[in-house]
Amino acid sequence: MMRKRERDNWIFSSELRDSIALEDEEKKLYALTPLGTKAKRILFCGTVMSKQSDDKMTRVTVSDSLGLFYVSAFAGGFNPEEQKMLNSIETEDKIMISGKVNPFKTNEGNYIFSIRPEIVSNIEANEMDYWTIMTSYSAKKKIFAIREIMKMEDPDINKIVQMGYTNYEAECALASIRNFKDYDFQKLMDSIETAVVSSKAESKVPEIRDMILKYIKENDSDGKGCKYEDIVVAARNMNVDQSTVDEVLNTLGSLGEIFEVSLKRYRGVEDE
């Protein structure tokens, strides 16, 4: 009989980190996440934070803004391309990885979940935003389904499906309440909201950078450079917070677009 391909579950690193290891019908360990996702294979996006490589293996850590994914590829593995794929990426690259999850038991008895990559590809910022939106959507749907099933005296998947959830979401909800009775779902929900907000802010950085540069060039009224305080007020009117302003000013300085005339006063470098 042909085996159906294990689905690629889109999950945040924090969901994987809080998983438990269970045995499947073939006595193989798999990760069950707090949201009830049977995470045999996952798909995630993030920025490469570190990379270690030798002849036998390559290890990378990937940050998705909620935490880290640990990815390992071996030279002598089942897939000869595995290590080559991971070797082709560099730190600070934005990447998408789809791969199998391997639970490892530590000496303290806890489980760490590392990923063996099957697909690795470099991505752009808007692909990362897309992944964040969709992963957040999937997680929220599962949390809402869990809340519904928690209200039931006799948990029933069919009733969850009748409410408009998919079979998969309903099954996840049931697995969740059976294995994560005391889990703080609200905390996970709050962290997911944060991930979406920070992803949006990051994607708007180029636009904000252009607006601030234009403001600095057009508002050097006394010829002594545009005041930091004025830039912050102008940015606030554009719904940009002070920490983003500081980050943008640093970037503009390193790009040679502006220079600091005197303390906290900036001037734009004119085009030749």
Partner 1 sequence: MKYKIKDINQNYQNIDIIAKILSVDKRVTKNEKGETTYYYGILGDDTGTIPFTAWTLIATVKSGDVVEIKNGSSNLYNGKIRFYIDSRSQVILKPNEDIEVKRASDLLKIRDIPSNAYYVSVVGRITGVSQKKYIRDGQEHLVYQGYIEDETAKVRISSFGKKLEENSTVKIEGAKVSQFNGYLGLSIGETTEIEKVKAEIPEGKKYMLISEIKSPVGGITVNGFVISVGANVKINRKCSVCRKILDDDHCKDHPDAPSVFDLSGHFLISDGTEDLMCFVNSDSLLPFINMKADEFQKRAYEINLHPLMEKNLKGKCLSVSGDIRSGNSGFSLRVTSIKDIGPDDVKGVEKLVEEEFQ
Catalog residues that contact partner 1 under the rule CB under 8 A: 5, 7-8, 10, 43, 96, 98, 119-121, 123, 126-127, 129-131, 133-135, 137-138, 140, 166, 168
Tokens of 155: 């948990």
Q: List CB contacts of 248: < 8 A, sequence separation 6 or more.
A: 205, 208, 209, 212
Cβ neighbourhood burial of 222 (10 Å; 0-12, 13-18, 19+): exposed
- Output the smallest distance, CB 7 to partner 1, in A: 6
Min dist. Cβ of residue 134 to partner 1 (A): 4
Residues 6+ apart with CB under 8 A from 61: 48, 49, 50, 68, 69, 70, 71
Q: What is the rounded radius of gyration, in angstroms, for the C-alpha atoms of the chain?
A: 23
Residue with tokens 């998408």: 96
Indicate the residue among 93 and 230 with the shorter CB distance to partner 1. 93
Shortest Å distance, C-beta 234 to partner 1: 25
Which one, 30 or 168, has the nearer CB to partner 1? 168
CB closer to partner 1, 65 vs 138 = 138
Which residue's CB is nearer to partner 1, number 8 or number 18? Answer: 8
Smallest gap, in angstroms, from Cβ of residue 55 to partner 1? 25
The residue (of 91 and 122) whose beta carbon lies closer to partner 1 is 122
Q: By C-beta, is 14 or 216 nearer to partner 1?
A: 14
> What phi and psi, each to the nearest 5 degrees, are found at residue 103?
-80, 130
Identify each DSSP E strand in 93-249 by its residue range. Answer: 94-105, 111-122, 226-227
End-to-end CA distance of the chain: 70
Decide whether 69 or 131 has the Cβ nearer to partner 1.
131
Query: Nearest distance from residue 199's CB to partner 1, in Å?
Result: 10
Q: Least distance (Å) from partner 1 to the CB of residue 5?
A: 7
Residue where the block lists tokens 């252009």? 210
| Pairing verdict, β 9-10 and 41-53 | parallel
- Per-residue tokens: 41: 């294979």
CB of 109 to partner 1, least distance (A): 32
Residue 195's CB is within 10 A of a number of other CB atoms, namely 22
